[in-house]
Structure 1
Amino acid sequence: MPELPEVEVVRRGLARWVAGRTIEAVEVLDARSLRRHVDGVEDFIGNVTGSRVTDVVRRGKFLWMVLDDPDGGPARVALMAHLGMSGQLLIEEPDAPREKHLKVRLTLSAALDEEGVPLPAELRFVDQRIFGGMFLADLEPTPDGHPGGLGRESLPLVPHQAAHIARDLLDPAFSPESFHRRIRERRTGLKRALLDQGLVSGIGNIYADEALWAARFHYARPTDTLRRPDTARILEAATDVMTRALAAGGTSFDALYVNVNGASGYFARDLQAYGRAGRPCRRCASEGRETLVRRESFMNRSSYLCPHCQPRPRNARV
């Protein structure tokens, strides 16, 4: 499932290609992709058609397009796009072949890029496994008065469906001190805490393993034993990993995750722990040791770690 870097790559593409344009028409080819819109397909089409996208915002793995108020009032509605495991948002020309798993097609108003070249006129939602979808959501004020997420206009509004999750590490309003205090109170294992979207959003299995490897922490380190320098180390490692992944366009293991132009990310080649079971730890190799990355069962999935760099604590707490 896409994590923060992959969703941020999509957000930046939408901000560049879609923000400021009006949605002139909506075609729904598979109503299952609108199942989260409780008022049905016709209501979705009626409320989206004619709306202008004023901003594209992300918090953690949640992504939404802010729609203007046709009556001229402040923006109060968001078009949310949940990518799920295989959802794609693609910018295409109207005459481009239809993708096999095309679910929703939005026709956009004409626009030009910085060089005066016409922009593609369609935004397509493609989803092979149909775990994702699109729906409209009301925007509400953020409890802390800060912007709802990462975007251009920085409105202090967030969709109700995303209001419960914590801010992510790329959010300027993220508070390391608050995170340190709350993670110590959880009294759980470190990786479990990193995956808790109520503590910090956007981190999934891949980047949790990469951050823990970079910071030299075992996934079962008890969070109540973390000192401030420890918390700072894991946050710095996680931020660095996701920033580098973002620069590489995210992590793609197959054709299911792509950016708005259909290109895959290439951070998979730089992974240090995730998916490297049985292969040498690169850090140990650089220091003259031969240690193999190990795969261990964790929360019905896998954790990858170096047993030398990330020794299991005696007071382990998974």
Structure 2
Amino acid sequence: MPELPEVEVVRRGLARWVRGRTITDVEVLDPRSIRRHALGTEDFIGNLENSTVLDVVRRGKFLWMPLRTEEPEGTGGAVSGKMIPGEVVPGVALMAHLGMSGQLLMQDPGVPDEKHLKVRFRLSTSDGMPEQLRFVDQRIFGGLFVTSLVPTSDGGPGGQGETPLPEIAEEASHIARDPLDPHFSFDDFYRKVKARKTGLKRALLDQGVISGIGNIYADESLWRAKLHYAKPTDTLKRADAVRLVDAAKEVMSDALAAGGTSFDSLYVNVNGVSGYFARSLDAYGRAGEPCRRCSAVGLPGVIKREQFMNRSSYTCPICQPKPRNGRW
């Protein structure tokens, strides 16, 4: 699954190409990709055509595009309800869930359709900018739907965006802020993680505690912080928690600079280019290889792979010693 850096790479690309442009036409080639829009294809299209994309916003792995819509007389969508002619619709957004293989690609009309193209958006023309936004999804675990925006619980911006507003997509309103969010609260994170009474990695994967961190970046953050994934959260010292959050910020910033982590052609930015942070991973996927930190000082550390929640965890047994009272 794409994690925060991969989704942020997509967000930044979309913000560059679609912010301020109007969706002039929507073509749904596979209704399965809008199955989360309960009222179906016609309503999905009706809520989006003639809408202007105000911004592209992300919280954790959630991505949405706030819209401004002026609907003609006699129309009204499931989200906006019955409209007054020319009324501006507040609090509506196009939500995108990338799943395991979803891609949002900017293309010109002359580019042949991708094999797994599911939804096509035609945009108002703008000099030098691609005219189409295409949603491509090989495995169909992702999807698009129109949703309502609701006020944020803390009064801060909903997430990372170009023009932050105190609104958030309803489906993302339950998740915590991520480490790269300027409004992230360490005190709030530390209070939540101490209350979980579970293993540290399990808490990192809990989007209600801290968002945007998945299996790859949890392992990388724990390695950088020299903490084992099974360390009980209720015994976590404040200094260790500070080190862990700093490590998460560093690893995600490094991943962003590299365009994200791509293990196959499915993880790409809006121009179809893969990220290369996988080359810099220190723990994840390196089972049996020397620990870079230990080997640098002459210690015989070797990365070890262990089963964890139907996944894998990668640690160095020397610089990330397993706690005696560890929790999974």
TM-score, L = length of structure 2: 0.94
Between the aligned residues of both structures, percent identity stands at 67
1:256 is paired with a residue whose SS is coil
Matched residue, 2:105: 90
Matched residue, 1:5: 5
Query: Aligned in 2, Cα 1:157/1:74: closer, same or farther, shift over 3 Å?
Result: farther
CA distance in 2, matches of 1:29, 1:258: 21
Code of the residue aligned with 1:16 in structure 2: it is R
Describe how 1:95-110 pairs up with structure 2 within 5 A.
Answer: 95-110=110-125
Say if 2:301 and 2:319, in contact at 8 Å, map to a contact too. no
CA RMSD, 1 decimal: 0.8
Code of the residue aligned with 1:62 in structure 2: it is F
Matched residue, 1:49: 49
Matched residue, 2:21: 21
Gaps of 5+ in 1: 113-117
Displacement of 1:72 in angstroms is 5.0
Matched residue, 1:247: 257
Describe how 1:1-318 pairs up with structure 2 within 5 A.
Answer: 1-70=1-70, 71-73=86-88, 75-112=90-127, 118-318=128-328
Displacement of 1:74 in angstroms is 6.1
The one-character-per-residue Cα deviations of 1:149-203 (angstroms, maximum 9, x if unpaired) are 1101111111111101111111111100111111111111100000000000000
TM-score, L = length of structure 1: 0.97
Displacement of 1:292 in angstroms is 1.3
Say if 1:252 and 1:258, in contact at 8 Å, map to a contact too. yes
Displacement of 1:47 in angstroms is 1.1
Displacement of 1:69 in angstroms is 3.2
Code of the residue aligned with 2:241 in structure 1: it is T
Code of the residue aligned with 1:5 in structure 2: it is P
Code of the residue aligned with 2:111 in structure 1: it is A
Code of the residue aligned with 1:179 in structure 2: it is F
CA distance in 1, matches of 2:172, 2:55: 16
The one-character-per-residue Cα deviations of 1:95-143 (angstroms, maximum 9, x if unpaired) are 101100000000011113xxxxx20100000000000010000011111
Say if 1:274 and 1:303, in contact at 8 Å, map to a contact too. yes
Displacement of 1:293 in angstroms is 0.5
Query: How many residue pairs align between the two structures?
Result: 313
Code of the residue aligned with 2:28 in structure 1: it is V
Query: Which stretches of structure 1, 4 residues or longer, exceed 4 Å deviation after superposition?
Result: none
Say if 2:232 and 2:326, in contact at 8 Å, map to a contact too. yes
1:135 is paired with a residue whose SS is strand
CA distance in 2, matches of 1:73, 1:232: 44
CA distance in 1, matches of 2:256, 2:34: 29
Code of the residue aligned with 2:57 in structure 1: it is V
CA distance in 2, matches of 1:288, 1:74: 63
1:106 is paired with a residue whose SS is strand
Code of the residue aligned with 1:87 in structure 2: it is G
1:236 is paired with a residue whose SS is helix
2:289 is paired with a residue whose SS is coil
Code of the residue aligned with 2:41 in structure 1: it is V
CA distance in 2, matches of 1:74, 1:177: 37
The one-character-per-residue Cα deviations of 1:254-308 (angstroms, maximum 9, x if unpaired) are 0011000000000000000000001111111111122210000001110000010
CA distance in 2, matches of 1:172, 1:284: 33
2:69 is paired with a residue whose SS is coil
